[in-house]
Chains A and B, each alone.
Chain A
Amino acid sequence: MKFDIPATTNPIDQLKVVGQPVDRIEGPLKTTGTAPYAYEHNVGPDTAYGYVVGAAIAKGRIASIDQSAAKAAPGVLGIVTAENAGKLEKGNFNTVKLLGGPNVDHYHQAIAVVVAGTFEQARAAAQLLRVNYERSPGRFDLAAEKDTAIKPKPGFGGPSDSSVGDFAGAFAAAPVQFEATYTTPDQSHAMMEPHASIAKWEGDKLTVWTSNQMIAWGVGDLSKTLGIPKENVRLISPYIGGGFGGKLFLRADALLAALAAREVRRPVKVALQRPLIMNNTTHRPATIQRIRLGATTDGKLTAIAHESWSGDQPGGQPETAVSQTRLLYAGEHRMTAMRLAVLDLPEGNAMRAPGEAPGMMALEIAIDEMAEKLGLDPVEFRIRNDTQVAPDNPAKPAASDPQSKALPEKHPSHPPFSQRQFVECLRLGAERFGWNQRDPKPAQAREGSWLRGIGVASAFRNNILMKSAARVRLDHRGTVTIETDMTDIGTGSYTIIAQTAAEMMGVPLKNVVVKLGDSQFPVSCGSGGQFGGNNSTSGVYAACAKLREAVAQKLGFDAQTAVFANGTVTANGRSVPLAQAADPSELVAEDGIEYGDLDKKYQQSTFGAHFVEVAVNAVTGETRVRRMLAVCAAGRILNPKTARSQVIGAMTMGVGAALMEDLVVDKRLGFFVNHDLAGYEVPVHADIPHQDVIFIDETDPISSPMKAKGVGELGICGVAAALANAVYNATGIRVRDYPITLDKLIDRLPPVA
């Protein structure tokens, strides 16, 4: 199904099932521990265990590996290193080889997998490998390498630079100017389930049970890396214990399991050990961000500049921290730029809301600082600089496209937003949160030894369209079964897909079976970039629309007028049970959603506002969050319950980003030092207070037939800045280097009485 004109009324609009806060359909399996995660599949009694050995140096080469003791250890079945792994290509989505050697590209890059009959045997033997390294110097300090950073190639986040009008001139002429530099640290996804895979070969066919967000990417990169046809690789990933972008790509667990299973001719399971994950896998790269704002005295932004520096391995990508600045606020003269330095730290890549999450951490403090400089309320300042067209994104409408006539013509070079209820989010949030209680003068609200403050930040994240396919089966009992390689990374995909199918086919939810995460199913959008919900359900919509036609034809109805409801198909006073269409044989339809250029004609984004109250201990500088509110405008909310869970999870992650998450770089030794969950702190229950989420009633017919957009990443964008702004309101102390730990406050706190 091609989606190239805005959606009109369709069966989803009935909202009998879609839009309802139904419980997760796979919830009981998860809460009873019976949903099999990657490491838990039982693929045969002869399954062996692999233990991964990570490089002990950050850069250099392996001179030799003495395997004798490890090979002789009890239970050892085999050892795979680059020497005996055969020729391996690098996956399209991998910046660095997943199996290092002889060259070592970063600390804890996998250099061997030791396979044994039990996990304990494999671990003991792995520790007997004697590896001799030759170290070489590396570049580990972003600040030191900043001046060597170059202009990167255009990537997922668009071109490296953008420029509209004359920023330099407008900034120089602006009556009110603001400039500051912010830093965000490297961060780890730190998901609960480690990267894990079980591989099994049958002849030249490989099956891998794994934990991966993007099945088709995984198949492609595993087959490419191994040099075998895609058809010979099957990935199965029904349940995923969190990914946050860390499992978008083929990683060492899957490759090493496959290599190990081939070596020992038995199925092999491999989970990355927790202390390995932070340096072995990808992370969100640190940034240095410089922001300059120019405004009129009445608070209209006239000049906006945002520059960001980040680092990555050679051939890597920048953290696209300026993305939102191209779109969020009006302002005639503007520029953005991203620069990329080469670092020999582990590979940087996507983590929940890549680009916008760290970008908003900086931009939204800057906006707060500018509001203060202007003497304006920060909510009001944001409202004054709203724009209904993309300020920094010249459209390229195809001249021959008849639909382009329907477009508003006012700003032909600036496409309108498909929906932008940004101001509504700010206003509603301010009202519900009690924003007017805030004293604009900082450090005024004291409660015993606590300094109270509240802060606001905008939320912004783009809506991404990806094609997505599904297969749908109808059987003679009226059961509708969906098959798609879509994944559920804890987001609720199972449930919203079931809701979509139930709505489309007019059956109760319990009559829908959803099968996900198998590369034998049609290729979906996968889970990432907050595109999973909208696109995967749109693919299911397309497949169901096709099935409706098949049903109508079989039962002798006109597909356009037939009503699918309560398990029956009705038109012109005639009613037939749906199940009858599958008698005597099952009906199967397969289709997908593909998009035209509506995302070029319109800017599709999601919006929100975050409000946070904090209390900062006046004695110690410890910051504790008191309450949080997110208001989101993100198209149709397919399931308010799972969507809310996404947003509160994202808000929680935002608290982590604001207050504690920090992969500390040892700039001499070249690695992330705090590489376990004791050292890399993420919020615990006690850190998270009452959280509220409000969804603005919205449908976006430009986005998809579901009229939905993404929401799972919107929830993190801006949270940390809202918190930073609240800390400022509480203490009068601006911290521009995340995380906001007490050592950055203590020198400026008031004396202890």
Chain B
Amino acid sequence: MKPFTFERARTPTEAASAAARHPGAKFIAGGTNLLDLMKLEIETPMHLIDVNGLGLDKIEATPDGGLRIGALVRNTDLAADARVRQDYAVLSRALLAGASGQLRNMATTAGNLLQRTRCPYFYDTNMPCNKRAPGSGCSAIGGFSRQHAVIGVSDACIATHPSDMAVALRVLDAVVETIRPDGSGRSIPIAELHRLPGDQPHIDTVLRAGEIITAVTLPKPVGGSQLYYKVRDRASFAFALVAVAAIIQQDGTGRVALGGVAHKPWRVEAAEAEMPKGAQAVVARLLAGAKPTEENAFKLKLVERVLTAMLADVRGGRV
């Protein structure tokens, strides 16, 4: 870990402008991802801005019947919130499928969205990795890629975004609210927050230097059966091989987003029109153009099987 300076911000604007003043500064929330990365010198901020005191830890109703989730709301609190459990069950389920109880107690909404990939080569600073060291190459391509992305990949990077929560937010059409160093705010639809790797895999999101997330808003509830199935090698405390978030209505229409398959939560709205035709038709469009490796091609089949089972469960009244 490199030595760094530290400050506690009191308002979001103050935090954002402090970040702008210190090139390479980072916000720190729960620290459950950032600190690990700093110890390994994968992240080397010279300055840390603690955002825990900004009062962004509330969940409030919005005028249009949705919810506004403060950026600092802990994953545990968000998963347990009665309104979330009632109206946005897919979010609660996704959160509870992630990490462990102890981690969720610390992890925050913004921090979870901005956690970095779990590619093992990214974590080993001796290894080439374009995301960590731009231009050094991608070790996962041709290497151990069982966990990696199958779609939206590039020749530079095949990493996945590891968040469960983000997949649920994607299927719920959440919007991310930010404040920039000049005090102006903007709203970023969750679909646009994370980037595909392209030839700049070291840039995960569209956020600009110093831009701070203040909240995530959810539109008014859409009802339906809200399901989250996370497939993993052990029963708990493991990142998803594949995760399927689905909201399925009684009439057979619905939405679906995937985790563990791409550099961002993966959703193709056009594919959802196929929903009444069944999972195979949906997945054919959802994963059209997929480029899996030999080691992770099984993910395609897995997605289709899980979605098929979900649709059958809803049809059969089992969920």
Q: Which residues of A contact B (CB under 8 A)?
A: 56-57, 74, 120, 123-124, 127, 275, 449, 619-620, 622, 624, 659-660, 664, 666, 668-669, 673-676, 678-679, 681, 683-687, 741-743, 746-747, 749, 752-753
Known: A275-B123, A673-B144. A686 touches B298 (CB 8 A): no
B interface bracket (residues with beta carbon within 8 Å of A): 35 or more
Which A residues touch B237, using CB under 8 A? Answer: 684, 686
Report B150 CB to chain A, min CB distance, Å. 12
Q: Which residues of B contact A (CB under 8 A)?
A: 1-3, 39-41, 118, 120-121, 123-124, 126-127, 139, 142-144, 146, 229, 231-239, 241, 298, 301-302, 305-306, 308-309, 312
A684 near B233: Cβ-Cβ < 8 Å? no
Known: A123-B39, A622-B231, A668-B142. A742 touches B1 (CB 8 A): no
Which B residues touch A686, using CB under 8 A? Answer: 234-237
A752 near B308: Cβ-Cβ < 8 Å? yes
Known: A681-B233, A684-B236. A120 touches B1 (CB 8 A): yes
B305 near A669: Cβ-Cβ < 8 Å? no
A676 near B236: Cβ-Cβ < 8 Å? no
Chain B residue nearest to A683 (CB atoms) is B234
Give complex CA distance A679, B147 in Å: 10
In the A-B complex, the 6 residue pairs with the smallest Cβ-Cβ separation, listed nearest first, are A56-B126, A686-B235, A686-B236, A743-B298, A752-B308, A619-B309
Give complex CA distance A619, B231 in Å: 10
A620 near B144: Cβ-Cβ < 8 Å? no
B231 near A753: Cβ-Cβ < 8 Å? no
B301 near A674: Cβ-Cβ < 8 Å? no
Known: A686-B234, A742-B298. A676 touches B123 (CB 8 A): yes
Report A74 CB to chain B, min CB distance, Å. 8
Chain A residue nearest to B118 (CB atoms) is A678
Chain A residue nearest to B233 (CB atoms) is A660
Known: A687-B235, A742-B241. A127 touches B143 (CB 8 A): no
User: Would you list 16 pairs from A and B whose C-beta atoms are within 8 A, ordered by A residue?
Assistant: A56-B126, A123-B39, A619-B305, A619-B306, A620-B231, A620-B302, A622-B231, A669-B139, A674-B120, A674-B144, A675-B124, A679-B120, A681-B238, A684-B235, A687-B235, A743-B298
Report A160 CB to chain B, min CB distance, Å. 32
Which A residues touch B234, using CB under 8 A? Answer: 659-660, 681, 683-684, 686-687
Best-surrounded residue of B142, B234, B298 (most CB of chain A within 10 A): B234
Chain A residue nearest to B298 (CB atoms) is A743
Chain A residue nearest to B231 (CB atoms) is A620
Known: A668-B142, A681-B238, A747-B301. A659 touches B306 (CB 8 A): no
Which B residues touch A678, using CB under 8 A? Answer: 118, 239
Report B95 CB to chain A, min CB distance, Å. 17
Partner of A752, one of B2, B241, B305: B305
Instruction: A620-B229, A678-B118, A753-B312 given; name 18 further pairs at CB < 8 Å.
Output: A57-B126, A120-B1, A123-B1, A275-B40, A275-B124, A619-B309, A620-B231, A620-B305, A666-B143, A675-B120, A679-B123, A684-B234, A684-B236, A684-B237, A742-B231, A742-B241, A743-B298, A746-B302
Which A residues touch B139, using CB under 8 A? Answer: 666, 669
Report B158 CB to chain A, min CB distance, Å. 14
Partner of A124, one of B3, B144, B146: B3
Which A residues touch B233, using CB under 8 A? Answer: 622, 659-660, 681, 741-742
B146 near A449: Cβ-Cβ < 8 Å? no
Which A residues touch B142, using CB under 8 A? Answer: 668
Give complex CA distance A76, B83 in Å: 54
Give complex CA distance A186, B233 in Å: 17
Report B175 CB to chain A, min CB distance, Å. 31
Give complex CA distance A530, B196 in Å: 52
Report A302 CB to chain B, min CB distance, Å. 40
B1 near A746: Cβ-Cβ < 8 Å? no
Partner of A449, one of B3, B126, B127, B309: B309
Report A461 CB to chain B, min CB distance, Å. 26
Chain A residue nearest to B140 (CB atoms) is A673
Which B residues touch A622, using CB under 8 A? Answer: 231-233
Chain A residue nearest to B40 (CB atoms) is A275
Which A residues touch B302, using CB under 8 A? Answer: 620, 742, 746
Which B residues touch A56, using CB under 8 A? Answer: 126
A124 near B2: Cβ-Cβ < 8 Å? yes
Which A residues touch B231, using CB under 8 A? Answer: 620, 622, 742
Which B residues touch A681, using CB under 8 A? Answer: 233-234, 238
Chain A residue nearest to B100 (CB atoms) is A684
B127 near A620: Cβ-Cβ < 8 Å? no
Which A residues touch B126, using CB under 8 A? Answer: 56-57
Which B residues touch A741, using CB under 8 A? Answer: 233
Which A residues touch B121, using CB under 8 A? Answer: 673
Which A residues touch B127, using CB under 8 A? Answer: 669
Give complex CA distance A752, B278 in Å: 12
Which B residues touch A669, using CB under 8 A? Answer: 127, 139, 143
Which B residues touch A449, using CB under 8 A? Answer: 309
Which B residues touch A685, using CB under 8 A? Answer: 236
Which A residues touch B124, using CB under 8 A? Answer: 275, 673, 675
Chain A residue nearest to B139 (CB atoms) is A669
Which A residues touch B146, using CB under 8 A? Answer: 664, 743
B120 near A673: Cβ-Cβ < 8 Å? yes
Which B residues touch A624, using CB under 8 A? Answer: 235
Which B residues touch A673, using CB under 8 A? Answer: 120-121, 124, 143-144
Give complex CA distance A673, B143 in Å: 9
Give complex CA distance A675, B40 in Å: 13
Give complex CA distance A104, B255 in Å: 53
Which A residues touch B144, using CB under 8 A? Answer: 664, 666, 673-674
Give complex CA distance A686, B237 in Å: 9
Report B131 CB to chain A, min CB distance, Å. 16
Chain A residue nearest to B126 (CB atoms) is A56
Which A residues touch B301, using CB under 8 A? Answer: 746-747
A752 near B309: Cβ-Cβ < 8 Å? yes
Which A residues touch B3, using CB under 8 A? Answer: 74, 124
Give complex CA distance A123, B144 in Å: 28
